């Protein structure tokens, strides 16, 4: 499976997926830390991919997503955005609704 197929499969297989530097409990950059905190604050389980451990994903995801930076949050197969967007949506209560609705729909 080539790397783009791997990325597509990860996005399709996980309702909520955060591509980040490090892990939610041990983020390796401030942007990833803020993004992970916001997603964890939504109270739903989510998957993550540590791009520092996956250099091929780190190199190819920005091209696939047409989004140059990390972290990247994907919900129900759609790119939500990076750290600033994630944090802003969380503060407005929009991220919680988006994630809860997506998780509920996936469970149907």
pLDDT one-digit tens code per residue, 56-105 = 999 999 999 999 999 999 999 999 999 999 999 999 999 999 999 999 99
CATH number for the segment(s) 3-107: 3.40.30.10
Does 21 count as an annotated binding residue?
yes
Does 92 count as an annotated binding residue?
no
Does 31 count as an annotated binding residue?
no
Which tokens hold the place of 26?
């041990």
Give the mean pLDDT of the chain: 97
3-state secondary structure the chain: CCHHHHHHHHHHHCCEEEEECEECCEECCHHHHHHHHHHHCCCCCCEEEECCCCHHHHHHHHHHHCCCCCCEEEECCEEEECHHHHHHHHHHCHHHHHHHHHHHHHHC
Share of the chain above pLDDT 90, in %: 99
Mean pLDDT value across residues 32-50: 98
Does 46 count as an annotated binding residue?
no
Q: Return the bridge partners of 74, or none.
A: 17, 79
Mean pLDDT value across residues 8-17: 98
pTM score, two decimals?
Answer: 0.96
Q: Does residue 27 carry a pLDDT above 90?
A: yes
Q: Does residue 55 carry a pLDDT above 90?
A: yes
- Residue 1: band (very low, low, confident or very high) from pLDDT cuts 50, 70, 90: confident
State residue 69's pLDDT score. 96
Does 83 count as an annotated binding residue?
yes
Does 105 count as an annotated binding residue?
no
The span from the CA of 36 to the CA of 95, in Å, is 12
């Amino acid at each position: 499976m080539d790397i783009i197929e791997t990325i597509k499969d990860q996005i399709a297989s996980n309702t909520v997926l955060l591509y980040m530097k490090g892990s939610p409990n041990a983020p390796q950059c401030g942007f990833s830390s803020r993004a992970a905190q916001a997603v964890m604050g939504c109270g739903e389980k989510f998957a993550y991919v540590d791009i520092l451990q996956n250099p091929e994903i780190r190199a190819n995801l920005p091209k696939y997503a047409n989004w140059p930076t990390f972290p990247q949050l994907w919900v129900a197969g759609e790119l939500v955005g990076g750290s600033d967007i994630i944090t802003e949506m969380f503060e407005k209560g929009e991220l919680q609704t988006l994630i809860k609705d997506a998780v509920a729909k996936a469970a149907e």
